[in-house]
Chain A
Amino acid sequence: MGWILVTSATVILFLQNYPLYIRSVPTENELKFHYMVHTSLDVVDEKISAMGKALVDQRELYLGLLYPTEDYKVYGYVTNSKVKFVMVVDSSNTALRDNEIRSMFRKLHNSYTDVMCNPFYNPGDRIQSRAFDGMVTSMMIQVC
């Protein structure tokens, strides 16, 4: 049940609904992002249960959560092991296309797998892998 939250960018990686990894590019308003992420977690859970067997899923969560003054798109992604990646993207960016989001999630997932392969990483720890950080940074730079 991990999370990654990416906004424009904020990345939060959650495991079992507690965060494994958080990264934001605009560092202000992080709490707002966290709040959004938490609310979107419910939506994600809902979708997971609804999907049933489909474990690896890429979904889009749309705005219903957002303040009317701001536009954010919240994207979610779940891995086989129920690690949730949540990405919050500022809509004021030119809207990212779905496949871009998907590719970003795929990259996140790959990097996360690499982190898991490290025997010194205990699942549930916060992720401190530099490679992971680097990947997320490059992604966020790309987005912003």
Chain B
Amino acid sequence: MEAAASGGCGSGPPLLLSEGEQQCYSELFARCAGAAGGGPGSGPPEAARAAPGASTAASGPVADLFRASQLPAETLHQITELCGAKRVGYFGPTQFYVALKLIAAAQSGLPVRIESIKCELPLPRFMMSKTDAEIRFGNMAELHGTKVQIPYLITEKNTFKRMDDEDKQQETQSPTMSPLASPPSSPPHYQRVPLSHGYSKLRKSTEQMHPAPYEARQPLVQPEGPSLGGPGAKPLRHQASLIRSFSVERELQDNNSSYPDEPWRITEEQREYYVNQFRSLQPDPSSFISGSVAKNFFTKSKLSIPELSYIWELSDADCDGALSLPEFCAAFHLIVARKNGYPLPEGLPPTLQPEYLQAAFPKPKWECALFDSYSESVPANQQPRDLNRMELSIKDMADFPVPTQDVTGDDKQALKSATDEALPKDMSEDSATPKDSNSLKARPRSRSYSSTSIEEAMKRGEDPPTPPPRPQKTHSRASSLDLNKVFQPSVPASKSGLLPPPPALPPRPCPSQSEQASEAELHPQLNRAPSQAAESSPAKKDIPYSQPPSKPIRRKFRPENQATESQEPTTAVGGPASVATVKPHPTVQKQSSKQKKAIQTAIRKNKEANAVLARLNSELQQQLKEVHQERIALENQLEQLRPVTVL
């Protein structure tokens, strides 16, 4: 891993470090970065991260370290200038390493020049007093001295993240166990380092600091003297522009692995970063990044093309030539890992699988989206979501080869799974599309969208025409049905001796009152077999519930309500009729008691009706959405075909 240090960060001269140098420098860097965090009281990593700093060595410890090299002050100033810290305003890894190399050069008697660092140099020597180090670096649990394996710069930094999760002691142990390409030769490397006794002691005592420091995310190095660059605002990781994205990824290397044995696990931070990068490339997080866009982006990482090609191979699970968000995260993570020196795995690690990534990191937005999209109670959100989904690339369209049923199935699952989340509505667009697209992508992929999309469209065309059978197709929204039923001659009309039902049943509870009022108006003409008051009143309530929706319900509830009634085919009439029969009941007391029961049953049934209707509503909206998507897909195809024909 020679060029790891040089890769990514563009701000330093190309640097070739030997293994020993790398280890040494990485430890030093860790120490410096960590010390600043450990000294002033290392807050939680998040807090440290919040500070305007990334993986930079704090100025204090760096200054101390440089002083410990026992070089004259002006040499140190020169070094800091040369290494670029002044220019960029902070001691990033590259700057730090260059500085260390220059120190080594200076200590070897070479002039402090950039060229000096190009030759082989011994490691820089630092005289540090143990007490200082201990004080500065705090008291960390003693690490297993020589067993500490800090094989690679990156590995070390990778361990930082563990600080978040586990006991510091444990974390420090984990770096030692880090198996990633970490030859057991690190102890020998350790000893190779011609450090002073104090320094090596310091090392052992401060090994654990290494993880911690990285989290510390120290703000700018305060230069040893005012000559060293001012504390420029260290761009937050997330603020790194795309151009700097891969230099930033070096900072990310700290985040690389939560656990030493799982370098392929994406941390929350990393994921956020990846998602942000994704958004910069493709605003819709549920859509895809096309191959060419991704290629340009990843090429900036300066990895070799074969490696990038291999990374793509690993991460594009469905080989569709585009990256969805989880695929993109996996690819990005692999790139970051590779830049940090991890050899690329033979196969996509399980923690980077798209399904795993989706499941493991149900980002709030996605959850929101899922919940909102599938929430029966938020149909309004489906509208903006629909619109957003419509913007999906044609790939998505093509990726919906299987008929809508699957999507509906997925929706239902998502609904069930996401019901717990309370989510911001504006995330609704992220909705099921990731889930849908991924689940759909899992299906046999359509390789050539142009050729198969038409077939799919045709296939899909078959679906819309068959909406789920509405409960009451015969019922129209208009009240005509009611009227039909209403006007139907009813035999038992006479029996009931119906009087025009009172406009409202005053004793009835409020929710039903308005319904009943409307209902009552219908009933004047109702003549129906008498039914028990209890049944009739719930029935009556059902009817006025809402004209169109009540129709299906009416049907459903008819049998229930009029179980004991003499049933007539037109149940709706039965309801009103039964209702009508209620009213003429002479005794008010009977009415009141029965009304209470009726009210209760009516409430219950209304609730059921609500649920049914809500489900129906959601299903219909789903279909509407799907039909919209199909339409858009077809329009897209048409547009695509049009220029072809023109040419």
Contact = CB atoms under 8 A, between A and B. Distances in A.
B312 interface: yes
Interface stretch (B94-102, B288-296, B360-368, B579-587): B288-296
A120 B308 contact: yes
A120 B321 contact: no
B306 A117 contact: no
Nearest to A113: B447
Q: Interface size class for chain B? A: 10 to 19
B309 interface: yes
B568 interface: no
B309 A128 contact: yes
Interface in B272-316: 290-292, 294-295, 298, 305-306, 308-310, 312-313, 316
B79 to A, nearest CB: 40
Given A113-B447, A129-B313, A131-B313, A119 B319 contact: no
A118 B313 contact: yes
A118 B306 contact: no
B312 A119 contact: yes
Contacts of A130: 310, 313, 346
Contacts of A129: 309-310, 313
A121 B311 CA distance: 12
B521 interface: no
Nearest to B292: A119
B320 interface: yes
A114 interface: yes
A128 B310 CA distance: 9
A114 B291 CA distance: 12
A118 B447 contact: no
Contacts of A113: 319, 447
Contacts of A116: 321
Nearest to B320: A117
Nearest to B304: A120
A82 to B, nearest CB: 15
A120 B309 contact: yes
A106 to B, nearest CB: 13
Nearest to A117: B321
B319 A120 contact: no
B321 A119 contact: yes
A144 to B, nearest CB: 23
Interface in B309-332: 309-310, 312-313, 316, 319-321
B297 to A, nearest CB: 10
Interface residues of A, number: 12
Given A113-B319, A113-B447, A114-B319, A119 B291 contact: yes
A129 B313 CA distance: 8
A130 B313 CA distance: 8
Interface in A92-129: 113-114, 116-121, 128-129
B281 to A, nearest CB: 13
Interface in B193-236: none
Most chain B CB within a 10 A radius of its CB, from A113, A114, A129, A131: A114
Contact of A120 (B295, B320, B447): B295
Contacts of B447: 113, 117
Contacts of B316: 117-118
Contact of A119 (B294, B306, B310, B346): B294
A138 to B, nearest CB: 14
Interface in A36-70: none
Contacts of A121: 309
Contacts of A114: 313, 319
A10 to B, nearest CB: 23
Nearest to A128: B306
A131 B290 CA distance: 21
B587 to A, nearest CB: 80
Contacts of B295: 119-120
B298 to A, nearest CB: 8
A118 B305 contact: no
Contacts of A120: 295, 298, 305, 308-309, 312
Nearest to A115: B313
A129 B319 CA distance: 13
Nearest to B289: A119
Given A128-B309, A129-B313, A130-B313, A117 B294 contact: no
A119 B310 CA distance: 11
A110 to B, nearest CB: 9
A119 B305 CA distance: 10
Contacts of B346: 130
B327 to A, nearest CB: 12
B317 to A, nearest CB: 11
Contacts of A131: 313
B319 A117 contact: yes
Interface of A: 113-114, 116-121, 128-131
Given A118-B313, A119-B294, 17 more contacts: A113-B319, A117-B319, A117-B320, A117-B321, A118-B291, A118-B309, A118-B312, A118-B321, A119-B292, A119-B312, A119-B321, A120-B295, A120-B305, A120-B308, A120-B309, A121-B309, A130-B346
10 contacts: A113-B319, A113-B447, A119-B292, A119-B295, A120-B308, A120-B309, A120-B312, A128-B309, A129-B309, A130-B310
Rank and list the top 4 A-B pairs by shortest CB-CB distance, nearest first: A119-B291, A120-B309, A117-B321, A119-B295
